[in-house]
Chains A and B, each alone.
Chain A
C-alpha cells in the first residue's frame, strides 16, 4: 500500500524536473486547452483543498475553519510524464496563465530517465549551445583595396558544383577519347539535409519539397533537398521535380525497391545519390523507426508491411572496407541511372575522415564527400550518442580540405559540410565560414525545421520528443491528428523565405570580401577567430 509520504528512489518533485510548470490561478479560466494540447500529458487538472481560518476581530468569538475546494493545473512528476518544456500550453492559453520554466540547477530527472535500465532516448540535438562556427568572423573587408561589392546592387552567382571535376589534362583526354565524363550539377550551396519521409511527417516532407520546387521554378534558385532514408513517394519520382532531389540510400535500403520500380517512369534524373554511412548526431549508431510510426502511408512508401519496426543498422552489412564501399556501392548506384547521376557518400565527421577522403580521391566515380558533424540533429537517438559521440565539423572539414589542397585536388572533389550549421540561428554566417574553410556547400536540417515549421527544440533540452511521435508542431509525427497542424503550403512559403533571407545574408558576407562571381571556397584568409587555439587548429587568423 502506497500512502502519502512514501517514496521510491525515482520519486521526483516538480523542483527536481528540468521543466517546471508555472501556473497562475488568478489568470486561469479552466478552459482545458493546455491539458488537451500537452504532447506528453505532463499536466492535468487537479483538485485542491483549501482551508481558511476565520478569526473574528477582537477574538470575541472562537475562530472557525472554512474548507473549500478549488481546481488547478497540476504538473505530473513521474518520469514518463515529465514536462518537456515545449511551451504549447503557453501557446494555447488564452490568458497567459501557464508556462514552463527551466530549472535553475542541474535537474534530478536525468538521473532517473532510465527506468527499467533503458537509457534515455530522444530526438533533437546535442545539448551544447556553444559553436566554433559562431565565433568565426569575416575579417577581410575590402576597403578601397579592391572593388567592394554591394549585396543589394550587384549580381551574385551563389552556385556550387556537385560532382567530380576532372583535372584539365584528364578532361582533355576524356574528350578526345570520347570517354566517360563524370556528371556535374550546378546547385545552390545550401542543401536541405537528409530527413526521411517517416522521420518527418507527410505534411512537413511535402512542404519542404514544394518549397524547393518553388525556389527552382519561380525564383531560379537551384536548391536541392536530400530525401533521407525512407524512400520517396512514387509521384515525386515520376515528376519533373525529381531533378531537385538527392535520393539517399542507407543501410536499411528502405523504399529502394519502390524507387527501382519507378525507374522506367522517371522523366528526370535525380540531382544526385547520397550514400549514407553515418550521421553526425549519432555517429556509428543506426536508426529505428518505431512500429507505431509505420502506418499505412509510411509502409507503402518504404515498401514494408504496416506496424513493424524498421531498423537501419549502423553499418551496411555487405561492406567491410572503404575500398569495397567505394567500388561496390558507388558504382552500382551510378549504374541505376546510366552513369548520368553523381553519387557521393556521406559520413559522420570522425578522426578517420581523411582515410575515406583519400580513398575517394583515387576514384573518379566519387562525386564528392559529405561530412556530418556532431552538432547534427536526429529524430531519435540515445542521449549518450547525441551528447557525446562525434567530431566537430569545423576542424574535420578543414583537415579534409587542406588534405585536398596538399594533393592538389581541392577543385576536383567537392566537400559538403553539415552538422550544427545555424544551430544558434546564424545560418548564413556558419555556412559562409564553412565554405571559406573549404566546403563547396553545406547541408542543414534542424535550422530548416525550426525556421520553416516552428520546431521548438533547443540546445537547452527543450521538447526533443521527435522520437515518440508526439511532435506538437506536427513536424515529426505520423499521427495525422498532429501532422495536419502543419500546412505544407505554409512550410513551403517559409522555405522560400528562409532561402531568400539566406541568399541576402550570404551576399552581405561575400560582397564586402569582394566576391560575387564564384563562391569563396577555401578563402580562409578572410577568416578570423578570437581563440588562439582554434585559430591555430583551423589555420586561420587569430584576432582580438
Chain B
C-alpha cells in the first residue's frame, strides 16, 4: 500500500551518527511501509538509496540532504531516483543496476564504477576513475553517466559498456577535460565530451571529432534531459551551439585493436633507418653485391654446393695400384663398349707380357685393390683378360729417332724398357748374359705356374720388334765404359741373380734356390727324398713345389720368422705337401741334414737355400752409387750418372710388375731427355672407395667366367659409364647428357636449376660426380 507523503530519515540522532546499517534498515522499512518519497538527512552514511526492490514498480524518490557517504545509490534499482542536494563522496552509483542518481554538486572518485544500468547525473566535476568497469547488459538499456564539468584522471578504465557524457563546463581552457590517461583498457561503450583532450589510450579507443548525425541527435535529446534534471536547461543552446566542440571516444573493437597503430618496420627502414644511414643501410657503402633475402633452397651462384662431373679425374684403384700402370678399368670399359680387340691390344702399350704376367704370374694388385673387394664382392678377374692378351696386336711404333739405348739384362725389367723405347722410336739394344731372354720368367719360375708356350709367344712378339738382342753377352767394366760411349743412355736391368749366402758350417752342401730352379726347369737336377728349404719366401715355395715335382717325398721349409710367402706360390707349395716350420735358426748343414741352433736336426737329402739374391754388379763403374749391393736411383730410375738408369731387381727386389713398371717409367724419362722436353704426366690421385656405389651389382656372383661378365660387373671407378643414373635421380632435372665430337660425351649441370643436393654424387655408380663448395662470394 502506497503511502502518500514524505518520510524523513535522520542520519543523526541525539548528536550521534546513525550507523549505515541502521539507516539502511530504516530506509528499507520506509519503502516496505509504502513510502515512495524518502528524505534522508545524511550524516556520512554509505550506500544510501540502493537496493529498494521492495518498492515494486512504483517510483521511489530519495532525496539526500546533508553529507552523503560513499557508494550512494549502489546496487540501485530502476524504480529509484536519488537526488543529492550537494556534493557526493566516492563511488556514486557503484554497481548501479537501474537507478537514476542526481548529484547537485561535485562527486569524488570512482563515480559509476561497475555501473550496469541506470543513469548518474553529476552537476559538477568528478574525481578519478569515473565510469570505470561499467557494463552494458544487452537485456537492458546501457548505463549513462553525465558530468556537467570535467572528469578526473584514469577516466573510463576498463569501461566495457554504457555512455559517458562530459560537458566540460568551466573547463573550456583546460588541456584535458577527461583528465590524465582516460580509456585504458576500455573495451566497450562511448564517451562524449566537450572541450579538449590531449591524450587517451589509443590502443583502446578511437576519437571521432566530427560527430555522426545520429550521435549528435542522441546527444542533444539526452543533454536536454540532463540539463532539465539539474535545473540548467537554460544552458542547452549554449552547449550545443558549437557542434565541433563535442567529440566522441568509442572503444575499439577487438579486431581493430590488433592493428597496432605503430609504424611498420619496412616503413621505418625506408623513412628513418636508410634515410639516416644511406641506401643499403649499415653497410651499403661497403658492399656492392645484392643482399636481398633469399630462401633456404637456392640455385645458381647461391648454391652452397656444386656438383662437378669429374670424369677420369681420379685413378681407379686397379690402375692406381698396378705398378705397371695398366689402365685396367679402361680395358673393361672398352669391352663394355664391344671393343674387345682394342681392350686386348691396349695392354701392349704398357707391358710386353700381358698374358705371362697379368694372366699368370702377377699377384694382381689391381684385383687386390678392386673397389668391389671393399664390400666383399669378388674383384673382376683380370687374369682372364691377361690370358686373352696373348693375341694382342702390338702398337705401331713412333718413327725411328736414331737414338740408341743399351739395356743391360733381358729379364722382365730390361724387356719392358726395351719394348717401351722401341714404341717411342728409339733403338734399344739388349745385352743378356744368358742364352735366352726372359730372366726369372724363363729361368727359374716353375712350369707349374706358367706354360712355356705363353712366355715363348710373348718373347717372340717382343723379339720380332726389338731387333738388337745380344745373348750370352758377358759384361765388364771396360765393356760397360765402351757402351757409354756408343749409346745415348744405358739402362741396367741385370736383376739380382747372385744368391745371398748364409754364414753357417756346411753351406757348400746346399743348393742356391735360383740355381736349383734354373736347373729344375731344364730337368737337369735331381733331389733326394727329404728336402729342406732354408727360407720360406715365395722363391722357397717355388723351390719346394719343384722339389716335389722332381720326386721328393717330403719338403720342409724353415724360416727364422713367420714365412713371408703368399699367393699362388705358397698355395702350390702347400698343395704339393710342403711343411712350414718357424722360427728355426740354422746352425750347420751336415750330411744328415740341417742342424738347428736348438740341437734339433732336420733330416735332409737335399738342402736348398732361398734367403734372397743380390745383384751381380761387377761391371758397374765405381762412381755409380750403390747401397747394400743395390743401385741407387731417383723416382725416374736414374742413377747418379745422368746417362745411366737402373731398374728391376738390380735396384730393389720386387714383383715382375714392379720391374715392368720401372721399365716404363725409365723409358718415359729417357724419351723426355732425348726429346729435350719434359712431358707432364697427370699425377692423378686414386679415387676414394666411398664414392663407388657397388650396391648396383649382384652380390651373389662369386666368380667370373668370361670377359663380358667381368666388364659388366666392373664398377668403372672414376670413369663415367654413361648409365644416366644422375640424369634420372636429379630432383631438379638439372643434369643432361651432351654429345661431343665422335663418341665423346659429357654430363652437364644447368646451374640455374641445380640446388646442390648432391643426389648425383650419392647415386653415381662410378663416383664421377664430386660435390664441392661453391666459390666464395665477395
Residues of A in contact with B (beta carbons under 8 Å apart): 1-4, 30-33, 35-37, 41, 44-49, 51, 65, 67, 69, 71, 74, 88, 91-92, 152-153, 155, 202-203, 205-206, 209-210, 213-214, 217-219, 233-236, 239-241, 295-297, 300-301, 479-482, 484-490, 492-493, 496
Given contacts A35-B759, A155-B181, A213-B273, whether A49 and B283 have CB atoms under 8 Å apart is: no
Within 8 Å by CB of B265, from A35, A233, A492, lies A492
Separation of A458 and B313 alpha carbons in the complex (Å): 43
Give every chain B residue within 8 A of A69 (Cβ-Cβ).
Answer: 695-696
Within 8 Å by CB of A3, from B184, B376, B763, B774, lies B376
Is there an interface contact between A47 and B273, defined as CB atoms closer than 8 Å? no
Nearest chain B CB to A183 CB, angstrom units: 24
Other 20 A-B pairs with CB < 8 A, given A218-B268, A219-B262, A488-B269: A1-B373, A4-B376, A32-B730, A44-B761, A45-B758, A45-B762, A47-B695, A71-B729, A202-B282, A206-B283, A234-B285, A235-B277, A235-B284, A236-B282, A239-B276, A480-B777, A481-B294, A481-B774, A484-B292, A489-B266
Separation of A134 and B287 alpha carbons in the complex (Å): 43
Is there an interface contact between B297 and A37, defined as CB atoms closer than 8 Å? yes
Separation of A481 and B306 alpha carbons in the complex (Å): 13
Is there an interface contact between A45 and B778, defined as CB atoms closer than 8 Å? no
Is there an interface contact between A35 and B762, defined as CB atoms closer than 8 Å? yes
Is there an interface contact between A481 and B777, defined as CB atoms closer than 8 Å? yes
Is there an interface contact between B286 and A297, defined as CB atoms closer than 8 Å? yes
Give every chain B residue within 8 A of A482 (Cβ-Cβ).
Answer: 304
Is there an interface contact between A488 and B281, defined as CB atoms closer than 8 Å? yes
| Closest chain B residue, CB of each to CB of A46 | B762
Range for the number of chain B residues in contact with chain A: 35 or more
Is there an interface contact between B273 and A210, defined as CB atoms closer than 8 Å? yes
Give every chain B residue within 8 A of A236 (Cβ-Cβ).
Answer: 277, 282
* B684 lies within 8 A of chain A by Cβ: no
| Closest chain A residue, CB of each to CB of B375 | A4
Offer 21 A-B interface pairs, CB within 8 angstroms, sorted by A. Answer: A2-B689, A3-B373, A4-B374, A45-B762, A47-B762, A69-B695, A206-B282, A210-B265, A210-B268, A210-B281, A218-B268, A233-B282, A239-B276, A239-B277, A300-B286, A480-B291, A484-B302, A488-B269, A488-B281, A490-B265, A496-B265
Separation of A218 and B268 alpha carbons in the complex (Å): 9
Give every chain A residue within 8 A of B731 (Cβ-Cβ).
Answer: 30-32
Give every chain A residue within 8 A of B181 (Cβ-Cβ).
Answer: 155
Nearest chain A CB to B129 CB, angstrom units: 10
* B757 lies within 8 A of chain A by Cβ: yes
* B369 lies within 8 A of chain A by Cβ: yes
Is there an interface contact between A235 and B776, defined as CB atoms closer than 8 Å? no
Separation of A341 and B278 alpha carbons in the complex (Å): 26
Is there an interface contact between B305 and A36, defined as CB atoms closer than 8 Å? yes
Chain A CB count within 10 A is highest, among B272, B369, B774, for: B272
Is there an interface contact between B283 and A2, defined as CB atoms closer than 8 Å? no
Within 8 Å by CB of A153, from B184, B374, B756, B759, lies B184
Is there an interface contact between B269 and A210, defined as CB atoms closer than 8 Å? yes
* B341 lies within 8 A of chain A by Cβ: no
| Closest chain A residue, CB of each to CB of B277 | A235
Separation of A503 and B763 alpha carbons in the complex (Å): 54
Chain A CB count within 10 A is highest, among B273, B373, B729, for: B273
* B295 lies within 8 A of chain A by Cβ: yes
Nearest chain B CB to A169 CB, angstrom units: 37
Within 8 A of A (CB), among B680-726: 689, 693, 695-696, 698-700
Given contacts A71-B763, A203-B291, A296-B778, whether A1 and B283 have CB atoms under 8 Å apart is: no
Separation of A488 and B265 alpha carbons in the complex (Å): 10
Within 8 A of A (CB), among B723-738: 729-732
Is there an interface contact between A235 and B757, defined as CB atoms closer than 8 Å? no
Separation of A233 and B280 alpha carbons in the complex (Å): 12
Give every chain A residue within 8 A of B776 (Cβ-Cβ).
Answer: 295, 479
| Closest chain A residue, CB of each to CB of B284 | A235
Nearest chain A CB to B271 CB, angstrom units: 10
Is there an interface contact between B276 and A49, defined as CB atoms closer than 8 Å? no
Give every chain B residue within 8 A of A3 (Cβ-Cβ).
Answer: 373-376
Separation of A219 and B260 alpha carbons in the complex (Å): 12
* B263 lies within 8 A of chain A by Cβ: yes
Nearest chain B CB to A147 CB, angstrom units: 13
Separation of A489 and B265 alpha carbons in the complex (Å): 6
Separation of A30 and B302 alpha carbons in the complex (Å): 21
Is there an interface contact between A213 and B272, defined as CB atoms closer than 8 Å? yes
Separation of A45 and B778 alpha carbons in the complex (Å): 31
| Closest chain B residue, CB of each to CB of A241 | B276
Nearest chain B CB to A102 CB, angstrom units: 23
